Chain A
């Protein structure tokens, strides 16, 4: 994993305001999404993040970071 499980949870949570506001922002440029379309886009983004998160790591450098973020204070 490239990010701690808790970190992943927080990233996914942060997606909620982004998605919810995205619909309004896009309306300004005359792209009107329905709820379903927004949900589908959300699903795709979540899937991409999940794939990225579970991709095996390439460098050792990040491994060190992950260890820190996993530790409990």
Chain B
């Protein structure tokens, strides 16, 4: 008998497993679309129509960063809460209800997107994962998103419920670190999703149903980015949770500091949302001053980022020294590189550092103009969400899947090669994407080349850049194939009693060293809300003031399509009627004149 998660929490293990498998399905679909668009836009191999490119891109974006990431993280969070509170969920039917909501939502949104490939079905949602106006999707897509997000809200309620029940029994105890991380992340998520919920329920859904004729595009963009930046922390926080509470364990040591970890998460809760406007530096209609405030807040995010980097590396070094490592740098040799879980997470962290550098360029208002909407940005977020998050999730799956299935990993060597291959593939793909962006190559297009225009490269040629992007994409696809081979191989294996124990890393400096105020979630929530109000109330008011809540006032000027058509009709008919009567008049009067 082993001490794995499934042994202690068999019912919860099923939930976590269902969440993981759903996320892997999305990863597989997203991967297929990823390689299709890579080979298409680099003009290396094309078999779709360029007109379908946006459907492919939407499917890739939504399946990867909405479905894959979020399904995986709800699994991780469920594991984290149950493990660290050492109690099962309060009501397993309640737990399954949010899994159900998220699944139904995904299927609805997914069907709406994929229907875009079939001409005979009059449904499509090729609106990209940013889905703001003026692009419009079928209502099914928005309804699916709503159900999905509501599912995550219910999931959060489930974890809070566990914590409240635990607190009653342990009134004076500190919140265990993993649970603390889950709760702060969920508070951030509740605040952040207010933006997207408003955008969908008040504007986009009624608009796609035809209940309202127009929307204010800048308002829907701003509401999207209100959610669009914190959502990146929704992906990252689970990866951080794993880096803080699991990576030290895999490295053979302890977490360097529990209080620092708490401070980091509190800062992310405070600073994640009031920065969204940094995605809109180039949007006309938002005053520079508001953009400057967003930039300042963004730069403050460096603080918790560096805290995290420091704490995680310190913990790893501690682990290496526990394993007998010595010297300034030679302790690196003592790390368990043979372990795919450790190696994958460490390589993910390494590329995340590179992403930090390109992120600084994105964040600066002035140099953002250089890279905005170029392939540079795509390079950047394939390092962040596409590697720091995705590779961490894949690597840690090699530990989690045995925990929730009770089966041993099919092949550790294949797993190690898989994570290394992802690292190499991403290196090739993102390096060339960054460089292509610097010469102005646009993102989100099937045809980045324009006739009569040559990109001027600093080094090499455009053809080389494209080839390097495609090479990276192919290596990544290969890596995905190995990943799924391993997961499927494991799933079909037989139950094993020889599994590592469930658990997470202890801390060198534990929660007793953390000031009590850090656990005061009400206080941090209040401050977070105040910061959001400060950052967003004036910009939103001015956007509504200038562009109208549902678009500009249409009585003064015929701005919407319907009225233009009406006007054209009127002009045509009145015009022809006038000409006709003029003609008749002339016809009647002419003989008189002649006579």
Pair from one complex:
yes
Where the two chains meet, the residues of A that have a C-beta atom closer than 8 Å to any C-beta of B are 3-7, 9-10, 13-14, 16-17, 20-21, 23-24, 27, 32, 35, 64-66, 68-73
Pairs A–B under 8 Å by Cβ, sample size 9:
A10-B337, A10-B420, A13-B347, A20-B427, A21-B431, A68-B323, A68-B324, A71-B323, A72-B336
Contact across chains for B460 and A23 when beta carbons are under 8 A apart: yes
- Are A10 and B343 in contact, CB atoms less than 8 angstroms apart? yes
1/0 per residue, CB under 8 A from A, across B349-370: the answer is 0100010000000000000000
Among A6, A17, A23, the residue within 8 A (CB) of B354 is A17
Main secondary structure of the interface of A (DSSP, over half): helix
A21 to B354, CA, bound (A): 12
Q: Which residues of B, 279-332, contact A by the 8 Å Cβ criterion?
A: 323-326, 330
Task: Evaluate contact between B431 and A4: CB separation under 8 angstroms.
Answer: no
Asked whether A9 lies within 8 Å of B324 as measured between CB atoms, the reply is no
| Given contacts A9-B337, A69-B333, A69-B337, A64 and B427 within 8 Å (CB-CB) | no
The 4 closest A-B pairs by CB, nearest first: A6-B338, A6-B337, A27-B459, A68-B324
Residues of B within 8 A of A64 (CB): 324
Question: Which of B324, B342, B354, B420 meets A65, CB within 8 Å?
Answer: B324
Q: Which of B335, B423, B427 gathers the greatest number of chain A CB atoms within 10 Å? A: B427
User: Are B343 and A65 in contact (CB-based, < 8 A)?
Assistant: no
Asked whether any CB of chain A lies closer than 8 Å to the CB of B265, the reply is: no
Inter-chain contact A10/B347, CB cutoff 8 Å: yes
Q: Which of A7, A21, A71, A73 contacts B250 (CB 8 A)?
A: A73
Chain B interface bracket (under 10, 10 to 19, 20 to 34, 35 or more):
20 to 34
With A10-B347, A13-B347, A16-B427 already in contact, the answer to whether A68 and B334 are too (CB < 8 A) is yes
Q: Does A35 lie within 8 Å of B428, measured CB to CB? A: no
Return the chain A residue nearest B340 by Cβ: A6
A10 cross-chain contacts in B, Cβ below 8 A: 337, 343, 347, 420
When distances are taken between beta carbons in the complex, the residues of chain B under 8 Å from A32 are: 459
A4-B333, A6-B338, A73-B342 known, 16 other contacts, Cβ within 8 Å: A9-B337, A13-B420, A16-B424, A16-B428, A17-B427, A20-B431, A20-B468, A23-B459, A24-B458, A27-B458, A65-B334, A68-B325, A69-B334, A69-B335, A69-B337, A73-B339
Please report the C-alpha to C-alpha distance between residue A64 and residue B334 in the assembled complex, in whole angstroms.
10
Q: When chains A and B are docked, how far (Å) is the Cα of A14 from the Cα of B426?
A: 12
Query: Does B553 sit within 8 A of A, measured CB to CB?
Result: no
Q: In whole angstroms, how far apart are the Cα atoms of A51 and B540 in the complex?
A: 63
Residues of chain A within 8 A of B458, CB atoms compared: 24, 27
A26 smallest CB distance to B (angstroms): 8
Q: Which residues of A contact B333 (CB under 8 A)?
A: 3-4, 7, 65-66, 69
**B residues neighboring A (CB under 8 Å):** 250, 252, 323-326, 330, 333-339, 342-343, 347, 350, 354, 416-417, 420, 423-424, 427-428, 431, 435, 458-460, 464, 468
Contact B416 A9 (CB under 8 A): yes
Contact assessment for B335 and A20 in the assembled complex, using a CB-CB cutoff below 8 Å: no
Q: A13-B347, A64-B324, A73-B252 are in contact. Are A7 and B337 (CB under 8 A)?
A: yes
**If the complex has contacts A10-B420, A13-B424, A20-B427, are A35 and B335 also in contact, measured as CB distance less than 8 A?**
no
Bound-state Cα–Cα, A65 to B347, Å: 21
Docked-complex contact B336 and A65, CB < 8 angstroms: no
- Alpha-carbon gap, A16 to B326, bound state (A): 27
A73 to B585, CA, bound (A): 101
Q: Nearest Cβ in chain A — how far from B447, in angstroms?
A: 25
CA distance A36 to B435 in the complex (A): 19
- How distant is B403 from chain A, measured CB to nearest CB, in Å? 15
**Bound CA–CA A57/B354 (angstroms):** 34
Given contacts A10-B347, A13-B423, A20-B428, contact A72 B459 (CB under 8 A): no
Task: A71 to B19: give the CA distance in the assembly, Å.
Answer: 32
- B residues within 8 A CB of A7? 333, 337
- Bound complex: CA of A9 vs CA of B252, how far in Å? 20
Q: Is the CB of B336 within 8 A of A73?
A: yes
Chain A residue with the shortest CB-CB distance to B351: A17
- Nearest residue, chain B, Cβ from A38: B460
Could you tell me if B338 and A72 are in contact, using CB atoms closer than 8 angstroms?
yes
B376 to chain A, nearest CB (A): 14
A65–B326 alpha-carbon span in the complex (Å): 9
Complex: A30 Cα to B457 Cα, angstroms: 14
For B435, the chain A residues whose CB sits under 8 A away are 24
Residues of B within 8 A of A20 (CB): 427-428, 431, 468
CA distance A5 to B413 in the complex (A): 11
